[in-house]
């Protein structure tokens, strides 16, 4: 994030962004620039690996419409590999499969428009902060139903036909490569390459995972970052599943294991699924909704692998800072690697 | 020798200023980053206070695991480098499979747990809510 100048895109003023978006939307909608109005452009608080903006668009012409939108843009100095065009097409496929997601409108890979690829989608009303989900009384019903709801939605995600031509990029997405063994080796190699200092806990975890990697199974489209922090919710339950930039082809249990990682429980460890539900409730709902049977040992493997991957996430973000990305948030994350390491030791070795 | 306040005392003053004077006056991403900054300053203060003891203990444990006996370097910067070297050697043995099972693994896990707990005693996972976790 460019926290030194929040609210602006490097090189472009808000006025310029508004003007360029107006021209872009007009061209996409076959309207004259004068028939499109763009307003209320505002930078939203986001994470270290992407930019989000809120804006309103009015379309004139023969079919007038008012749209409340979110713009998702690659930051100028982006962390990790991702592809806005592919994410846009995955979101469209997810909507067609009945997965609750924001409706996507237009995608632009031409970097001369806003300096980086971006797409526009509906701005939904809802809450995304996990702490509020865990604490606020108005979300009691949402909490109670969340693990089964996420299980059922995940089963639907895993039915998306990943062989459709427009999703061909998934096979080569750099974020995940598939089988348990391949994923273990990918993470181990990346951690060794990116970490400045040695991490013997991660070397120990790599051995543990290699020995226990479940046999390869049919690869499906996995969300790749399926956790409570990427769920939009309200008093009625799940509104949408967000952040599809890490979608890839992989073992379906990968998404279930990642959802059980301790970091997403925000201290409420009695309930391993995001601090709100049990593994049994999650898995039962997943299987009842048509998900393939989940072997408990495979789930355990992918939960350990999830913590292994989380350590790599921290190392990667720290490395981006060491390489010169001037973000205070990135700088702070390297020291969080130890949290994932402690959990890895606990999962591999049991309580001390 | 420098005059008072000590380095740690100065960092505590900066932390207090950020937490009490800056954070309440900011909103959105800036407010969040000010809290991150206060947290980082507190980490540095704890590191200054504990690093020497943690490194010496880590050096001894690594010596036990690797069967090495040379004395610890006197200067902290050298010690840091030497502990890192021993940890590299340890990681190499783990990668070779020496810790896959057996009594050495148990001793290793005790050492790793202690090392990770030492790191967490310094970084002390923040209690505030990140706008978005990584």
Q: Kindly give the parts of chain B with pLDDT less than 50.
A: 128-134
- What is the predicted pLDDT for the residue at B83? 98
Whether residue A261 contacts residue A313, with contact meaning beta carbons closer than 8 Å, is answered with no
Please report the ipTM that was assigned to this predicted complex.
0.93
User: For the residues A176-198, what does the mean pLDDT come to?
Assistant: 90
- What is the predicted pLDDT for the residue at A179? 86
Whether residue A19 contacts residue A101, with contact meaning beta carbons closer than 8 Å, is answered with no
User: For the residues A133-137, what does the mean pLDDT come to?
Assistant: 94
Q: Do residue A328 and residue B108 have CB atoms under 8 angstroms apart?
A: no
- What is the predicted pLDDT for the residue at B66? 98
Residues 181-200 of chain A with CB under 8 A from chain B are 197-200
Q: Which residues of B touch A6 (CB under 8 A)?
A: 28-30
What are the pLDDT digits (tens) for A276-323?
999 999 999 999 999 999 999 999 999 999 999 999 999 999 999 999
Torsion, Cα of A246, A252, A256, A258 (10° steps): -40
pLDDT band at residue A98 under the 50/70/90 scheme: very high
* CA closest to A263 among chain B residues: B133
Report whether pLDDT(A75) > 80: no
* CA closest to A351 among chain B residues: B113
- What is the predicted pLDDT for the residue at A56? 96
Residues 75-94 of chain B with CB under 8 A from chain A are 84, 87-88, 90-91, 94
Report whether pLDDT(A8) > 70: no
- What is the predicted pLDDT for the residue at A350? 78
- What is the predicted pLDDT for the residue at A111? 86
pLDDT band at residue A17 under the 50/70/90 scheme: very high
Report whether pLDDT(A18) > 50: yes
Look at residues A68, A40, A67, A52 and name the one whose alpha carbon lies nearest to residue A9: A52
Nearest-CB residue to B36 (from A199, A227, A332)? A332
Asked if the bond preceding B5 is cis, omega within 30° of 0, the reply is yes
Q: Do residue B123 and residue A229 have CB atoms under 8 angstroms apart?
A: no
DSSP string, A207-244: HHHHHHPPPP---EEE-S--SGGGEEEETTEEEEE---
Look at residues B1, B4, B8 and name the one whose alpha carbon lies nearest to residue B51: B8
Q: Nearest C-alpha of chain B: how many angstroms from A60?
A: 33
Q: Do residue B131 and residue A129 have CB atoms under 8 angstroms apart?
A: yes
Look at residues A236, A228, A227, A273 and name the one whose alpha carbon lies nearest to residue A142: A236
- What is the predicted pLDDT for the residue at A1? 35
Residue A332 contacts B where some CB pair is shorter than 8 Å: yes
* CA closest to B97 among chain A residues: A207
Q: Which residues of B touch A332 (CB under 8 A)?
A: 36, 39-40
- What is the predicted pLDDT for the residue at A351? 61
Q: Which residues of A touch B125 (CB under 8 A)?
A: 336, 339
Residue A101 contacts B where some CB pair is shorter than 8 Å: no
Interface size, chain A vs chain B, as Cβ–Cβ contacts under 8 Å:
108
Look at residues A148, A90, A116 and name the one whose alpha carbon lies nearest to residue A17: A116
For B123, the token pair is 């970084």
pLDDT band at residue A84 under the 50/70/90 scheme: confident
Q: What percent of chain A has pLDDT over 90?
A: 73
Q: Nearest C-alpha of chain B: how many angstroms from A191?
A: 13
pLDDT band at residue A77 under the 50/70/90 scheme: low
Report whether pLDDT(A2) > 80: no
Q: Report the phi/psi class of residue A228: left, alpha or beta, with left for phi > 0 and alpha for psi in -120 to 50.
A: alpha
- What is the predicted pLDDT for the residue at A41? 93
Nearest-CB residue to A45 (from B32, B95, B122)? B32
Q: What percent of chain A has pLDDT over 70?
A: 91
Residue A110 contacts B where some CB pair is shorter than 8 Å: no
- pLDDT, chain A, mean: 90
User: For the residues A94-100, what does the mean pLDDT come to?
Assistant: 97
- What is the predicted pLDDT for the residue at B128? 46
Residue B129 contacts A where some CB pair is shorter than 8 Å: yes
Q: Which residue has the tokens 């789930």?
A: A299
Residue A297 contacts B where some CB pair is shorter than 8 Å: no
Report whether pLDDT(A189) > 50: yes
* CA closest to B105 among chain A residues: A204
- What is the predicted pLDDT for the residue at A173? 58
Nearest-CB residue to B132 (from A46, A328, A349)? A46
User: For the residues A189-211, what does the mean pLDDT come to?
Assistant: 96
Nearest-CB residue to A1 (from B29, B43, B123)? B29
Substitution target from A200, A209, A325, A349 for chain B, most B beta carbons within 10 A: A200
């Amino acid at each position: 994030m460019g926290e030194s100048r929040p609210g602006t895109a490097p090189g472009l003023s808000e006025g310029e962004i508004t003007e360029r978006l107006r021209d872009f939307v007009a061209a996409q909608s076959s309207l004259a620039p004068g028939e499109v109005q763009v307003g209320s452009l505002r930078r939203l608080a986001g994470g270290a690996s992407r930019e989000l903006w809120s804006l309103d668009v009015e379309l004139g012409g023969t079919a007038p419409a008012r749209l409340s939108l979110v713009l998702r843009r690659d930051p100028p100095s982006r962390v990790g590999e991702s592809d806005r065009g592919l994410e846009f097409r995955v979101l469209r496929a997810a909507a067609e499969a009945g997965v609750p997601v924001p409706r996507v409108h237009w995608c632009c890979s031409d970097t001369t428009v806003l300096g980086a690829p971006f797409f526009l989608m509906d701005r939904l009303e809802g809450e995304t902060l996990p702490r509020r989900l865990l604490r606020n009384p108005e979300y009691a019903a949402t909490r109670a139903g969340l693990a089964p709801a996420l299980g059922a939605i995940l089963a639907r995600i895993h039915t998306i036909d990943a062989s459709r031509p427009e999703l061909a990029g998934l096979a080569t997405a750099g974020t995940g490569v598939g089988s348990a063994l391949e994923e273990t080796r990918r993470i181990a190699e990346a951690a060794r390459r990116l970490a400045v200092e040695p991490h013997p806990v991660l070397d120990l975890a790599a051995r543990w995972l290699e020995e226990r990697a479940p046999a390869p199974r049919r690869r499906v489209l996995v969300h790749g970052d399926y956790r409570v922090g990427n769920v939009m919710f309200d008093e009625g339950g799940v509104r949408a599943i967000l952040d599809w930039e890490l979608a890839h082809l992989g073992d379906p249990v990968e998404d279930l294991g990642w959802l059980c990682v301790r970091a997403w429980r925000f201290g409420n460890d009695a309930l391993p699924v995001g601090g709100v539900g049990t593994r049994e409730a999650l898995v039962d709902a997943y299987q009842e909704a048509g998900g393939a049977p989940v072997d408990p040992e495979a789930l355990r493997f992918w939960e350990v692998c999830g913590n292994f991957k989380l350590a790599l996430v921290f190392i990667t973000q720290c490395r981006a800072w060491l390489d010169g990305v001037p973000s205070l948030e990135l700088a702070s994350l390297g020291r969080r690697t130890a949290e994932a390491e402690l959990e890895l030791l606990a999962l591999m070795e049991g309580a001390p | 020798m420098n005059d008072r306040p000590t380095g740690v005392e100065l960092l505590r003053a900066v932390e207090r200023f950020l937490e009490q004077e800056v954070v309440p006056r900011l909103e959105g991403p800036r407010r969040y980053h000010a809290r991150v900054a206060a947290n980082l300053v507190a980490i540095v203060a704890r590191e200054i206070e504990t690093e020497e003891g943690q490194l010496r203990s880590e050096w001894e444990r690594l010596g036990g695991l690797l069967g090495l006996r040379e004395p610890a370097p006197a200067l902290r910067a050298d010690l840091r480098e030497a502990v890192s070297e021993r940890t590299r050697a340890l990681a190499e043995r783990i990668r070779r499979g020496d810790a896959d099972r057996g009594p050495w693994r148990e001793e290793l896990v005790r050492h790793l747990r202690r090392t990770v707990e030492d790191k967490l005693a310094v970084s002390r996972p923040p209690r505030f809510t990140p706008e978005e976790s990584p």
